[in-house]
Amino acid sequence: MSEQKRAPETGGDASENGTAQSNAQVNEATAEAEATAMADAAIGDPAGEKARLEGEIASLKDKFLRAFAEAENVRRRAEKEIQDAKTYGIASFARDVLNVADDLARALGSVEAEAKATAEGGFKALLDGLELTERGLVRALEKHGIRKIEPKGEKFDPNLHQAMFEVPDPSVPTGTVVQVVQAGYVIGERVLRPAMVGVARGGPKAEANKATGAA
């Protein structure tokens, strides 16, 4: 029995190779398309992307300005608090010192003008020492922003003065301070102690007096 030679089967392999190459090309094209799509998606519309970025920049700028303004406000408040502490921190101590100033003023006020003019020897030295001490105390208070209120002859101001009584006096406008019972003091822009005063009544009104003077 004779054996017949089998022909090589080459047709199937060629077909499979062609199919594989086609599939590889398709896959490569698909990958390129997906990469292009992803790039387009990442870039998006140039005009829209620009608008979005500008919006983000504006938002960040607004947040920065708000934060900067808040920090500036905090800094200013801290500076004011420090300044107030320096200016008004001695208010309680200053009120106690005012009692000493009042005692000195009363001591000097109790001596009659004639006695001061004719004082000699130790009495004169005592008076000079009291006056020197009073002037030094006033300078020390002024050095720390404490000023004496001298309201005599001025219009009564309830923010600075405390009316103790009224004085009938038609020669001056009503509401004029004609007597100071106790001196007042201010520290910085605040009243440390109001001046206790006597106020005139019975005279012309201050507004009418001013209008007459202007005319």
**8-58 pLDDT per residue, tens:** 454 455 555 556 666 666 667 666 766 665 655 555 567 777 888 888 898
pLDDT in the model for residue 206? 62
Selected residue with higher pLDDT from 79 and 2: 79
Concatenating the DSSP letter of every residue in 68-136 gives HHHHHHHHHHHHHHHHHHHHHTTHHHHHHHHHHHHHHHHHHHTS-HHHHHH--HHHHHHHHHHHHHHHH
Query: How far apart are the C-alpha atoms of 177 and 199, rounded to whole Å?
Result: 5
pLDDT in the model for residue 44? 55
pLDDT in the model for residue 157? 93
AA letter at 212? T
pLDDT in the model for residue 7? 47
Residue 130 is encoded by which pair of tokens?
């009291």
Query: How far apart are the C-alpha atoms of 86 and 123, rounded to whole Å?
Result: 41
